[in-house]
């Protein structure tokens, strides 16, 4: 049977799936037909020129208008196209740009504001199959918000992905003018100015102008609904709009009315780092804190919702809830190369609903990118319980689409069997035990042995220490070592996954103000009946001394084990003669000079809690800076009855940069001076998740 032809122009971008017959994720194509099985026959573009033809599944694509396709083709990197497409409000605003609209663009000097002057056609169209790519000429705005009169010609050109903010223009949106002829060159392609900026199709909203001025939105009642965390916009006296998040509300010193402290989306000269006058009200990056009376704040029009009046609500500005793919077909963990384009943005990750943050953060941490538990999904789906199939569908949807709606998670919570899982606040360790025991049917991940006793199974490891045993700023490694030695516990074998719970009780109590994450956890000296290395000479150790652990002359915080000779010498010192070293159980067949292999586990996620709300940090690849921050309830659209939560995933490379510092510098670091996401990691950590790269597997409970 022949493929069915498609009438008219229909374009698409491949959003997921493996490369197949000419198509890969992020490539743009034009529909030429449809196979009997429903797949698309398409023409793939390289720049504006057709490259090849191929076949792709319809569900792996997102439809585009011609204008959208032309804008995305000028974005040369496929991952950047997908990242822009994921930010639906921004992409729509870019498609709707008019002349003299104010935008903020990426620049080598940092984010720069400017006005759009022309929409540019790039490339010579030599055949009907070719497409003009589209870019924007932007005239920069000086720091005093006036157009620079000394900018050289030609004006700089930017693609759609270079635009990071679109600001509603306060000027009259004049129509663009034809300018005939060729303009310079860009990668040796012809560039032409065109007369209008088409909208994205039927969703475009034309501007209505009266008496030469653009109408302003009504303000006032919305300001009364502001709270910390609200997304707002502020219009300056010169007509430039800035956007940000409310971080503080109150009456500043020497003021009589209520003001808002706003953390802006980008740096603006003259703003602070959270100070107003000489008083600090919150902490953020330099030049991003703005303080204004609350009467000057309005809800962010890009994400308008039901808190605004019906005449000003625009549902297209709110991220839509994507459809749920309930396929239980196996989907591999999201690779590092695809994580940012698939996961980063609003309405990404797992959507929270009614106290589900503990569950959302845990599932996202365990299953989005980590391969530790991936062998679970290799079992035949037919042999699974219904609740396991539900979890499989959630994981598959997260890995394929980058989003799981609240409805699917709510159904899963009902299947857990206890009503409190549907409505109450829970802690991750309680859910983890049910998840592994009842849903995944996996044996305890940890086998712990105390001296002279049989091993005990557990899914998580609770740190138990006395505050006096530790320094003010302990690392996870130091906490684990001290807890194991003081409780006389050893691991019977190297676990595939080690989840270490910090010494705190929810959001009510924490023993340490902040804890330094250990990116690697060496458990060699915490293994039962395993060869260990003498702390002094490196030979096979035969004794271990808990009392030497805090010794300031012997690297405090490090586990100390010694060979017979070094044990005698170390404990001959007057300050150590009262110590009680214990003999180690050493395999009889191990030579004294044998090299001791190190068993090191790698950090892949951290669960944090602040004011009863759990969030997650997830490492999505081997690169040290490949970190994501996930919040299942980052924002909300609508009221408590009819609205819904907006989950968000952010890239946070600053975590990797911070943790790359030497341990001594990390211990001296002040969380208040660190970036906000780094501060939250240090101060709010609840559970650290580690994986064993050598054995990424877990044994089902029914196996022997």
Residues of the chain below pLDDT 50 = 1-6, 143-151, 169-190, 193, 195-222, 304-318, 323, 697-698, 702-704
Regarding whether 538 and 492 lie in a shared domain, the answer is no
Residue 89 within a domain:
yes
Q: What is the DSSP letter of 48?
A: T
Regarding whether 459 and 516 lie in a shared domain, the answer is yes
Residue 179 within a domain:
no
Regarding whether 494 and 510 lie in a shared domain, the answer is yes
**pLDDT, position 214:** 35
Q: What is the DSSP letter of 320?
A: P
C-alpha 323 chain-centroid distance = 21
Residue 105 within a domain:
yes
Name, in order, each residue with C-beta under 8 angstroms of 323's C-beta and a sequence gap of 6 or more: none
Regarding whether 62 and 116 lie in a shared domain, the answer is yes
Which regions of 201-240 does DSSP assign to beta strands (E)? 231-235
Q: State the CATH number of the domain containing residue 236.
A: 2.30.30.190
Name, in order, each residue with C-beta under 8 angstroms of 340's C-beta and a sequence gap of 6 or more: 79, 83, 651
Regarding whether 400 and 508 lie in a shared domain, the answer is yes
Residue 320, both tokens: 């839509």
Q: Which of 268, 325, 317 has its CA nearest to residue 291?
A: 268
Which pLDDT tens digit goes with each residue over 194-233? Answer: 544 433 333 333 333 333 333 333 334 445 567 777 778 8
Residue 447 within a domain:
yes
Q: Of 596, 616, 631, which residue sits at a domain end?
A: 596
Angle of the 66-73 helix axis to the 88-95 helix axis, nearest 10? 100
Other C-beta atoms lying within 10 Å of the C-beta of residue 425: 15
Regarding whether 537 and 486 lie in a shared domain, the answer is no
**pLDDT, position 463:** 94
Regarding whether 382 and 238 lie in a shared domain, the answer is no
Regarding whether 490 and 469 lie in a shared domain, the answer is yes
Angle of the 88-95 helix axis to the 78-86 helix axis, nearest 10? 100
**pLDDT, position 379:** 64
Regarding whether 454 and 339 lie in a shared domain, the answer is yes
**pLDDT, position 210:** 32
Domain count, the chain: 4
Residue given tokens 């698939």 in the structure block: 342
Quote the domain boundaries for residue 627: 335-523+599-696
Residue 311 within a domain:
no
C-alpha 50 chain-centroid distance = 35
Which pLDDT tens digit goes with each residue over 564-584? Answer: 889 999 999 988 988 988 888
Regarding whether 511 and 391 lie in a shared domain, the answer is yes
Residue 295 within a domain:
yes
Q: Of 574, 596, 618, which residue sits at a domain end?
A: 596
**pLDDT, position 519:** 95
Regarding whether 660 and 543 lie in a shared domain, the answer is no
Residue 199 within a domain:
no
Regarding whether 340 and 412 lie in a shared domain, the answer is yes
Q: Which residues are catalytic?
A: 357, 613
Q: Which of 256, 252, 263, 258 has its CA nearest to residue 230?
A: 263
Name, in order, each residue with C-beta under 8 angstroms of 337's C-beta and a sequence gap of 6 or more: 79, 621
**Which SS3 state, helix, strand or coil, does residue 650 take?**
strand
Measured distance CA(134)–CA(598) in Å, rounded: 55
Q: State the CATH number of the domain containing residue 430.
A: 3.90.70.10
Residue 189 within a domain:
no
Give whole-number Cα distances, 106 to 113, 119, 157, in Å. Answer: 9, 18, 11
């Amino acid at each position: 049977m022949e493929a069915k032809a498609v009438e008219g122009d229909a374009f698409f971008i491949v959003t997921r799936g493996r490369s197949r017959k000419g198509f890969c994720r992020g490539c743009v194509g034009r529909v030429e037909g449809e196979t009997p099985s429903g797949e698309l026959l398409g023409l793939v573009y390289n720049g504006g020129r057709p490259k090849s033809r191929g076949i792709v599944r319809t569900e792996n694509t997102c439809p585009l208008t011609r204008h959208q396709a032309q804008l995305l083709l000028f974005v040369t990197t496929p991952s950047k196209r997908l990242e822009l497409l994921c930010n639906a409000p921004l992409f729509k605003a870019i498609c709707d740009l008019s002349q003299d609209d104010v935008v903020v663009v990426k620049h080598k000097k940092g984010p720069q504001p400017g006005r759009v002057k022309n929409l540019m056609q790039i490339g010579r169209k030599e055949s009907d199959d070719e497409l003009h790519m589209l870019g924007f000429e932007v005239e920069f705005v000086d720091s005093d918000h006036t157009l620079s009169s000394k900018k050289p010609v030609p004006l700089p050109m930017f693609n759609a992905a270079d635009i990071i903010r679109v600001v509603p223009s306060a000027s009259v949106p004049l129509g663009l003018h034809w300018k005939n002829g060729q303009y310079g060159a860009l990668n040796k392609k012809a560039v032409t100015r065109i007369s209008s900026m088409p909208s994205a199709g039927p969703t475009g909203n034309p501007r209505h102008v009266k008496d030469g001025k653009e109408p302003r939105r009504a303000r006032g009642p919305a300001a009364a609904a502001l709270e910390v965390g609200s997304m707002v916009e502020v219009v300056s006296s010169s007509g430039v709009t800035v956007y940000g998040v409310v971080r503080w509300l109150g009456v500043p010193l020497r003021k009589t009315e209520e003001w808002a402290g706003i953390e802006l989306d980008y740096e603006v000269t003259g703003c602070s780092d959270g100070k107003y006058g000489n008083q600090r009200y919150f902490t953020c990056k330099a030049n991003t804190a703005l303080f204004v009376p609350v009467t000057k704040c309005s809800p962010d029009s890009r994400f308008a919702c039901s808190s605004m009046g019906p005449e000003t609500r625009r549902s297209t500005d709110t991220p839509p809830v994507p459809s749920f793919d309930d396929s239980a077909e196996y989907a591999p963990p999201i690779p590092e190369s695809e994580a940012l384009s698939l996961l980063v943005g609003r309405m990404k990750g797992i959507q929270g609903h009614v106290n589900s943050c503990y569950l959302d953060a845990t599932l996202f941490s365990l299953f989005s990118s980590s391969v530790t538990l991936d062998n679970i999904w290799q079992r035949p789906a037919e042999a699974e319980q219904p609740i396991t199939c539900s979890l499989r569908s959630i994981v598959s949807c997260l890995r394929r689409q980058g989003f799981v709606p609240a409805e699917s998670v709510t159904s899963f919570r009902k299947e857990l069997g206890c009503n409190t899982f549907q409505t109450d606040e829970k802690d991750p360790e309680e859910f983890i035990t049910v998840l592994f025991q009842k849903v995944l049917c996996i044996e305890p991940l940890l086998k712990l042995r105390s001296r002279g006793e049989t091993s005990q199974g557990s899914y998580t490891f609770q740190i138990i220490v006395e505050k006096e045993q530790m320094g003010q700023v302990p690392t996870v490694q130091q906490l684990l070592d001290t807890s194991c030695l003081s409780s006389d516990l050893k691991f019977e074998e190297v676990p595939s996954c080690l989840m270490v719970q910090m010494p705190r009780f929810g959001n009510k109590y924490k023993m340490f103000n902040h804890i330094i994450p250990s990116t690697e956890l060496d458990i060699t000296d915490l293994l039962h009946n395993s060869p260990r290395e003498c702390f002094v000479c490196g030979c096979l150790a035969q004794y271990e001394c808990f009392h030497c652990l805090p010794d300031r002359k012997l690297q405090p915080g490090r586990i100390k084990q010694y060979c017979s000779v070094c044990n005698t010498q170390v404990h001959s010192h007057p300050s150590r003669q009262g110590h009680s070293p214990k003999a180690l159980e050493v395999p009889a067949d191990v030579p004294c000079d044998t090299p001791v292999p190190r068993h090191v586990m790698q950090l892949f996620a951290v669960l944090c809690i602040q004011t009863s709300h759990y969030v997650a940090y997830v490492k999505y690849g081997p690169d040290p800076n490949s970190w994501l921050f996930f919040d299942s309830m980052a924002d909300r659209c609508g009221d408590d009855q009819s609205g819904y939560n907006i989950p968000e995933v952010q890239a946070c490379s600053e975590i990797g940069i911070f943790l790359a510092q030497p341990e001594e510098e990390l211990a001296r670091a002040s969380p208040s001076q660190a970036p906000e996401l780094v501060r939250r990691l240090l101060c709010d950590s609840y559970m650290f998740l580690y994986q064993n790269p050598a054995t990424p597997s877990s044994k089902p409970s029914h196996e022997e």
